[in-house]
Structure 1
Amino acid sequence: MSNAIKETHFNFPGQVGFYKGKVRDVYIFEKELIVVASDRISAFDVVLPKPIPYKGQVLNQIAATFLRATADIVPNWVTATPDPSVTIGKRCEPFKVEMVIRGYMAGHAAREYKAGKRTLCGVAMPEGLRENDPFPGPIITPTTKASEGHDEDISREDILAQGIVSEADYLVLENYTRALFQRGQEMAKAKGLILVDTKYEFGKFVDEILLIDEIHTPDSSRYFYADSYEENQEKGIPQKQLSKEFVRQWLIANGFQGKEGQTIPEMTNEIVESISDRYIELFEQITGEKFEKADTQQIEHRIEKAILAHLGL
C-alpha cells in the first residue's frame, strides 16, 4: 500500500487560520487560500476511517483540468497548483448556497420522485418519468451550504426571500451554472460519458463573482456511460455509473448508511486498494489522460516544500 494523506498539520508564515473539511485541509491567509486535497473519503456525510491513496491527487487534478477548461465562461479562484495535491487561490466570500443542476432524474431527485413528489426545490418535475430519464431541460435545485451536518434543499424563491443571495447575484449564478453544465456535458460526451448532475459553488472576491471549489469531479458529479445508456433504460436496469456511488453501494451492502447506531464496516487493505484503483480509472476516463502517480514516499514533506516554494520561502 502507498502512503496516503489522512491529515496535515502545517503552520506557514503569514497564515491566519485553518479549516478542516471532510476531505480538504484549508490554510487561510489574508487574501488567499492554500488547499490540500487529502486522501480522506466521505460517504453519507461521514468521513471513513482509512484514507485512499492518490484520491486527493485524482480530485485535485480533475478539478484543475475542468477549471482551466471553463475559465472562458466564468473566472475562478485558482492562481496556482504547485503540487499534484495542492491548489492555491483567491480567498473569496462564499455564497451560502450550492448550485445543483440536474439533467436527468437520478439520485436524490429520483428518490423524491419515487416518494410521490413532483416538485423539487420549487421546480416542477413532469409526470411519467422513469429513474435516469432525462428532464425536458436541465433543472437547478439549490441546497443550503451547511457549516455542519446535512445541506438542505431550498427553492430559488426562498433564497431570495431570506436574503441569502441578492436577486442580481442569483441571476448571475444561474446563468453561470447553466453555461458550465453545458460545457461539462459537451466535454463528457467527447469521452463517451453523460454528465448527469453536478454542483457548483461560487464566491465573491472584492466585487467579482468567481467559481470556487472543485468542479466535475466524481465526488461532486454523477456520470453515466453513454454507450450503454439507451439499452439499460429500455431494459429498466441500473445505469453504469462513473462516480463514487460504488463506495456508497459497498457501505450499504455492509449495513451502513450513516444512520445512528450503525458501524462503519472494516476497510481491509484490499478494499482500500480497490477504491484507489477505481479513482484512478475515473481520472483516466474523465480526462482522457494517463494518471501519473506522484511520489508518496515523503508525501507531507513534498507538499510542504511545494507550498513554501510558492510562498517564496
Structure 2
Amino acid sequence: MSLSDKVLAVNNDLPIRTDAPVHSGKVRSVYWLTQADSKRLIEEKGYNVPSDTALAIMVISDRISAFDCIWHGEGGMKGVPGKGAALNAISNHWFKLFKEQGLADSHILDIPHPFVWIVQKAQPVMIEAICRQYITGSMWRSYAKGEREFCGINLPEGLTKDSKLPTLLQTPSTKGILKGIPGVPEADDVNITRKNIEDNFSAFNFKSVDDIGLYEKLLTQGFDVIASALAELDQIFIDTKFEFGYVKDKAGNDKLIYMDEVGTPDSSRIWDGEEYRAGNVVENSKEGFRQLLLNHFPDPDILLNKDRMAEREALARDNALPVDVLMNVSKTYIDIAEKVTGQKIVLSDNPKAEIVDILRQQYQLID
C-alpha cells in the first residue's frame, strides 16, 4: 500500500445518511444527520442535550491549507499523512482538560474514530478570537511598519521581533463577511475592537453584552491552560485562534461553548523552548509550512497579497510539492500530538473504510 493511500484527502463522499448537502470546509466536512437519527442517538448514547437537538458527523481530512489554498505533493499525495488524526487528538486533549478544569464545554458529544466527531449544532459567534503572547507574524510586520494600535489596544515602543508581549493580548477579527456594522469593513478577517463588539453585540451573534466578558474570560483561561501544559513540555504557546458558539443544555438554556478546534498546530503557533532560549525560532505548527512556501516560490508576494488570489490559487493547483516537504509537515504534526497527548498517533491503512465500518456497525448511520 502506498503512502498516499493512507491519506484521507476526500472526506465529503461518505455514505452517511443525511437529507442536507454535505458542507465541506478547508479541512473538515460536516454531515447533518436526519432528525430521526439525531433523536435516536441522543437517546441511545445518553448525550447531555435536549432530545430535539440537531447532530452532525464531522470528519477531518489530511488536507493541508495555507494562505487560503489547498496544497498537494508529488506522486498523487493529496495531503499530509497523520495530520487529521494529530489535529483531532490535540483538540480532544485540550477540550477534555478545559472540562476537567471547569472552563466550558465544547460542541463535541462523541468521538467514534480518530478522524470523526459527533457534534451538536451550535450558533457560532462571528468572531475569530485571537490571543497573542508574543509579537510575530502579521502583527510584527505591521509593528515594524510603524503601526502601534491593534484592535483598539496601543502597543509600547521598542518591542523586538518574536519577543514576549507585556501582557496577553486579545486581538479579535471578523469571522466571515459581516454587513451593516458601523466602522467594520465588509470583508473577512478584519480586525475589530472591543467597542465594535459591544456596540453591535447581536450582529456578532452574542445573546447579551455580558457574554462578551464571558468569551474574553474563556479565551484567556483556555490560553492559560494550554500555555501551562505546553510549558511543562518545554514548548511555548505563542498565539492561537479560538471560536465560540451557543448551544442549548438539557434544560433548554443557552450556554456559550468552545467550538471548532483548539490549541492545534493549524490554529496556533507553538515554538520549541530550548531553541528559543538559544535565539532560534523552531516552529512546531503549520507556521513552519507557511514559511517554507514563502521561501520555496520566487515571488512570495503572491502568497501574502490578497489582491493576487487568482495567481495564488494557480500556484497551489499547478505545483506539486516534493514529498519530503509533506513528510516534514507530517513529522511536525505527529511529534507535537504525541508530546501533548502522551499517546502514539497510529496511521490507519484505510481511514475511510474504518470510518464507514464504525458508523455502520456501532451507530447505524450508514445503510
Q: Fold match, TM over 0.5?
A: yes
Answer yes or no: is 1:6 the counterpart of 2:9.
Answer: yes
| The one of 314, 324, 328 aligned to 1:270 | 324
Structure with the greater alpha carbon radius of gyration: 2
| The one of 210, 214, 224 aligned to 2:271 | 224
Contact kept, 8 Å, 2:284 with 2:332, in 1: the verdict is: no
Bigger drift between 180-189 and 152-161 goes to: 152-161
Answer yes or no: is 1:187 the counterpart of 2:235.
Answer: no
SS in 2 for 1:137: strand
Letter in 1 for 2:257: L
| The one of 33, 37, 41 aligned to 2:64 | 41
Cα gap change, 1:181 to 1:91, in 2 (>3 Å): same
Cα gap change, 1:169 to 1:308, in 2 (>3 Å): farther
Bigger drift between 108-117 and 37-46 goes to: 108-117
Answer yes or no: is 1:123 the counterpart of 2:153.
Answer: yes
Bigger drift between 158-167 and 204-213 goes to: 158-167
Distance in 1 of aligned mates of 2:362 and 2:143: 49
The Cα shift of 1:274 comes to 2.8
Structure 1 runs, 4 residues or longer, greater than 6 Å off: none
Answer yes or no: is 1:18 the counterpart of 2:22.
Answer: yes
Letter in 2 for 1:217: T
**1:84-103 superposed matches below 5 A:** 84-103=114-133
Distance in 2 of aligned mates of 1:124 and 1:136: 11
TM-score using structure 2 length: 0.78
2:359 match: 307
SS in 2 for 1:241: coil
Answer yes or no: is 1:213 the counterpart of 2:264.
Answer: no
Answer yes or no: is 1:138 the counterpart of 2:192.
Answer: no
| The one of 41, 64, 68 aligned to 2:92 | 64
Distance in 1 of aligned mates of 2:177 and 2:362: 29
Encode CA deviations 1:193-221: one digit per residue, 9 max, x unaligned.
11111111111012111111111100011
Answer yes or no: is 1:161 the counterpart of 2:194.
Answer: no
Cα gap change, 1:214 to 1:310, in 2 (>3 Å): farther
Letter in 1 for 2:193: S
1:235 match: none
Cα gap change, 1:134 to 1:271, in 2 (>3 Å): closer
Answer yes or no: is 1:108 the counterpart of 2:138.
Answer: yes
Distance in 1 of aligned mates of 2:290 and 2:16: 36
Cα gap change, 1:309 to 1:127, in 2 (>3 Å): farther
Aligned residues: 306
Contact kept, 8 Å, 2:230 with 2:236, in 1: the verdict is: yes
The Cα shift of 1:139 comes to 0.8
Bigger drift between 7-16 and 181-190 goes to: 7-16
Distance in 2 of aligned mates of 1:309 and 1:69: 30
Letter in 1 for 2:61: S
Answer yes or no: is 1:83 the counterpart of 2:87.
Answer: no
- Alignment RMSD (CA, Å): 2.0
Letter in 2 for 1:229: Y
Distance in 1 of aligned mates of 2:325 and 2:273: 27
SS in 1 for 2:320: coil
| The one of 175, 182, 195 aligned to 2:217 | 175
TM-score using structure 1 length: 0.91
| The one of 334, 341, 348 aligned to 1:280 | 334
SS in 2 for 1:242: coil
Contact kept, 8 Å, 1:191 with 1:288, in 2: the verdict is: no
**1:289-300 superposed matches below 5 A:** 289-293=343-347, 295-296=348-349, 298-300=350-352
Encode CA deviations 1:41-77: one digit per residue, 9 max, x unaligned.
0001111132112211110111111111111211111
Distance in 2 of aligned mates of 1:32 and 1:160: 31
Distance in 2 of aligned mates of 1:119 and 1:216: 26
**1:245-264 superposed matches below 5 A:** 245-255=287-297, 256=300, 257-258=302-303, 259=305, 260=308, 261-262=311-312, 263-264=315-316
What fraction of aligned residue pairs are identical, expressed as a percent?
Answer: 29
